[in-house]
Amino acid sequence: MKAIKWTYQGNPFYTHFKKHFCPRCGTKVKLGYDRKIIYRDSIIEARNYDFSDLDTNWLNSVDFRTRCFFCPNCEINISFKVMKEYEEKRYQFQRKGRG
């Protein structure tokens, strides 16, 4: 048996209502997800993931999906964290630019 577990970083306001653009090419990004299948028995990897609220007795693996942005032009995933850092830097740069 396999389970799917969604993890969210960031709040819905940030992800859904603000416009976000690809740091690489400037295209408006869509919402996507990063996917990683972790086997319960993979000692090293499983340690980094939260299996705590899952009934692991009957599970072999969990499909961990993390929300992120997806650039349809570059075909890359951009995590919320990376996007936030990029936007903060750009904002500071714009403020500096105006003097």
Give the residues lining the site for Zn ion (CB under 5 A): 22, 24-25, 27, 71, 73-74
Question: Which two tokens mark 28?
Answer: 């408006």
What is the Cα–Cα distance from 54 to 63, expressed in whole angstroms?
A: 12
Q: What is the separation of C-alpha 35 from the centre of its chain, rounded to a whole number of angstroms?
A: 9
* Separation CA 22–CA 70 (nearest Å): 8
The residues, ordered by sequence, that sit 6+ positions from 53 with a Cβ below 8 Å of its Cβ are: none
Residue sitting closest to Zn ion (CB): 22
The pair phi, psi for residue 49, each rounded to 5°, is -120, 155
